[in-house]
């Protein structure tokens, strides 16, 4: 078991552990964040690691995130905020027990007062360990924080790091409750994106789950426990106040240190990163060689590595075909457990792997992995028809955003694999015995097919080019849109009204193209091409008017 990792890490000119043990850090928040990152990974992930440690499966770090099913109460958990300023106790807007800076003279009276404050909040069974860690010293200097951290990770509430009057970072508070205002955030966000309207309870009931899920997903979590929710929404609140901060949270269920920071934030949302112990068994042979030769394995036999994933956050817009996509993976970095070196360029999560091969394994019953079905059931393997259908439904939903962005050829190959299985006469007796699951997979597949088709149109309208990069003229795009709407509009209106509305928005976006309107609509056509463009423009407008009336717009 690793007791103290990152022994070769340098922060500035000083070794990590010398810096943490000996100095009173007056550097930037970025330097503090770097040191805390290694400290928290060591205490939260590496110190508790053992042969029975529940490694995080790569799928758990790929959005959309699965709801937690198991709480590992024997593992550490914590939440923390570091603020790049001093605190004003009464004015902070969140509750915590104040710790006083001991200053450069290391006041014994202040140290005793801080020790008592910490004792009052520490679980009684941990008091002997607290006495051993502190002795007669105070708990607030950073060097004491290093020793206290394993105990702080046994407390239910968070802790606070801030600057003292001399500009030195110290442990400024414990037993902190970070305000989430979950009800207010959901309602404000729902009204902002047009999903809620004041006084309309039916609309609220229909869309609440979507709004709640999207809000949490943007901040890196599924709908989950209070520790994660409060840390995520508190980080969002701090960003709105233009604070300079780092918020960290580690839960018993997710086993990942999630970090929110104001540096790197964008779109009104804090930057989100997750670091966890992951089995890199899905890496390519070349990737495993690089991990082995570089000494990146925490446990070579289990293939365990420290993986940090950074995410891109996507703003909600009703025009988006993939309306529920709130987060996507921006980068993957493996962290060396001693030097802290970053190894980039590896696909530990398997985002680039050929999903057609995976689908083949699933439909043949040869896949041995696991997945979460409907947020409450872990399906292990695909040996029988029931598990295979559950696995397919969950897997297609989990990877929907990736599959919908495939090229037409690759998407059709994946579709063919699943369709061949669903229409195989040999499996029909089993499908009849599992009719509900069978129909669920067919519905998921149909929704995926529509999402892919609309994504192609969405990209065509946005880029005036197809999946192969071929450029299209305005008249060609108009002909395509007219064809799709005229041939598929009736079916969409009857069976998929939401997708019809998205198709109409795509068409409207193209009709509103400024160049198109200026070039072809503001004067009479002078040649055949201009007349053709104008004719198809008007035809598409009439079709849209017809279907907008049917869809209630």
| Res. 133 pLDDT band, cuts 50 70 90 | confident
Bridge partners, 257 (sequence order) = 250, 275
Amino acid 22: pLDDT = 66
- Residue whose C-alpha is closest to residue 371's, from 395, 353, 351: 395
What pLDDT, on the 0 to 100 scale, is given for residue 552?
Answer: 58
pLDDT at position 466: 80
At 486 the pLDDT is 93
Residues of the chain with pLDDT > 70: what percent?
97
Instruction: Report the pLDDT value the prediction gives residue 523, as an integer from 0 to 100.
Output: 80
pLDDT at 233 over 70: yes
Q: How many CB atoms lie within 10 A of CB 288?
A: 18
> What is the distance in angstroms between the CA of the first residue and the CA of the last residue of the chain?
62
Kindly report the average pLDDT of the chain as a whole number.
90
Query: Which residues, including other chains, have CB under 8 Å from residue 532's CB and lie 6 or more apart?
Result: 475
Q: Is the whole-model pTM more than 0.95?
A: no
pLDDT on residue 369: 83
Query: Is the torsion defined by CA of 255, 261, 265, 269 positive or negative?
Result: positive
Distances (CA, A) of 2 to 39, 144, 234, 279, 491: 13, 20, 32, 17, 60
Q: Residue 1 has what pLDDT? A: 35
Reported confidence tier of residue 39, pLDDT bands at 50, 70, 90: very high
**480-530 pLDDT tens trace:** 999 999 999 999 998 998 899 999 999 999 999 888 888 888 888 888 888
How many Cα atoms are found within 13 Å in the side-chain-facing hemisphere of 12?
A: 15
* pLDDT at residue 229 is higher than 90: yes
pLDDT at 2: 40
**Predicted pLDDT of residue 234:** 95
Measured over all CA atoms, what is the biggest interatomic distance in the chain, rounded to whole angstroms?
Answer: 92
- Averaged pLDDT, 315-335: 89
pLDDT value at position 24? 66
Tell me how far apart the alpha carbons of residues 65 and 292 are, in angstroms, rounded to a whole number.
29
Per-residue confidence band for 551, with pLDDT thresholds at 50, 70 and 90:
low
- Residue 156 has a pLDDT of 86
pLDDT tens profile 526-549: 888 888 989 999 999 999 998 888
pLDDT of 225 above 90? no
pLDDT of 106 strictly over 80: no
Closest CA relative to residue 545, chosen from 502, 504, 494: 504
Could you read off the pLDDT of 287-319 as tens digits, one per residue? 899 999 999 999 999 999 999 999 999 988 887
Token pair listed for 304:
């365990």
Average pLDDT of span 43-51: 94
Which string of DSSP letters, residue by residue, matches 421-442?
HHT-GGGHHHHHHTHHHHHHHH
Contact present, 530 and 543 (Cβ < 8 Å):
no
Taking the C-alpha atoms of residue 294 and residue 306, their distance in angstroms, rounded to an integer, is: 13
Q: What is the pLDDT of residue 553?
A: 54
pLDDT at 108 over 50: yes
The mean per-residue pLDDT over the stretch 312-339 comes to: 90
């Amino acid at each position: 078991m690793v007791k103290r990792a990152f022994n070769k890490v340098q922060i500035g000119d000083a070794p990590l552990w010398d810096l943490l043990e000996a100095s009173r850090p007056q550097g930037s928040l970025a330097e503090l964040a770097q040191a805390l990152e290694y400290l928290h990974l060591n205490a939260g992930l590496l110190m508790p690691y053992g042969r029975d440690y529940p490694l995080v499966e790569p799928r758990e770090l790929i959005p959309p995130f699965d709801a937690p099913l198991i709480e590992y109460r024997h593992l550490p958990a914590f939440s923390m905020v570091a603020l790049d300023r001093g605190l004003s106790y009464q004015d902070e807007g969140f509750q915590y027990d104040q710790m006083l800076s001991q200053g450069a003279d290391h006041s014994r009276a202040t140290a005793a007062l801080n020790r008592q404050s910490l004792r009052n909040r520490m679980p009684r069974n941990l008091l002997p360990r607290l006495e051993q860690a502190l002795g007669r010293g105070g708990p607030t200097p950073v060097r004491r924080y290093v020793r206290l951290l394993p105990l702080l990770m046994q407390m239910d509430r968070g802790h606070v790091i801030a600057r003292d009057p001399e500009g030195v970072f110290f442990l400024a508070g414990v037993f902190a409750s970070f305000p989430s205002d979950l009800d207010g955030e959901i309602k404000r966000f729902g009204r902002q994106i047009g999903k809620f309207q004041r006084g309309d309870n039916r609309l609220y009931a229909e869309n609440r789950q979507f709004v709640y899920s999207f809000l949490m997903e943007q901040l890196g979590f599924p709908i989950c426990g209070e520790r994660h929710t409060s840390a995520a929404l508190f980080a969002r609140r701090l960003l709105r106040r233009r604070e300079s901060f780092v918020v960290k949270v580690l839960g018993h269920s997710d086993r990942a240190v999630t970090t929110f920071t104001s540096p790197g934030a964008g779109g009104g949302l804090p930057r989100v990163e997750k670091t966890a112990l992951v089995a890199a068994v899905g890496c390519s042979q070349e990737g495993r060689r690089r991990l082995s030769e570089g000494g990146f394995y925490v446990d070579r036999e289990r293939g365990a590595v420290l993986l940090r994933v950074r995410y891109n956050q996507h703003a909600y817009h009703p025009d988006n075909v993939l309306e529920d996509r709130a987060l996507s993976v921006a980068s993957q970095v493996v962290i060396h457990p001693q030097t802290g070196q970053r190894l980039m360029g590896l696909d530990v999560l398997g985002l680039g792997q050929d999903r057609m091969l995976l689908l083949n394994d699933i439909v043949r019953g040869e896949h041995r992995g696991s997945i979460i079905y409907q947020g409450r059931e872990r399906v292990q393997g695909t040996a029988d028809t029931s598990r295979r259908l559950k696995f397919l439904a969950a897997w297609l939903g989990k990877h929907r955003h990736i599959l919908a962005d495939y090229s037409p050829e690759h998407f059709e190959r994946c579709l063919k694999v699943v369709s061949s299985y669903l229409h195989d006469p040999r499996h029909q007796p089993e499908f009849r015995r599992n009719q509900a699951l069978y129909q669920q997979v067919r519905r998921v597949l149909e929704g995926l097919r529509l999402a892919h088709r609309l994504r192609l149109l969405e990209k065509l309208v946005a880029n005036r080019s197809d999946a192969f990069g071929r450029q299209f003229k305005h008249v060609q795009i108009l002909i395509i849109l007219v064809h799709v709407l005229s041939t598929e509009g009736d079916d969409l209106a009857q069976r998929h009204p939401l997708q019809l509305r998205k198709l109409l928005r795509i068409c409207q976006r193209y009709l509103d193209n400024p160049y198109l309107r200026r070039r072809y609509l503001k004067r009479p056509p002078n040649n055949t091409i201009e007349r053709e463009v104008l004719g198809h423009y008007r035809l598409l407008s009439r079709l849209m008017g017809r279907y907008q009336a049917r869809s209630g717009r």
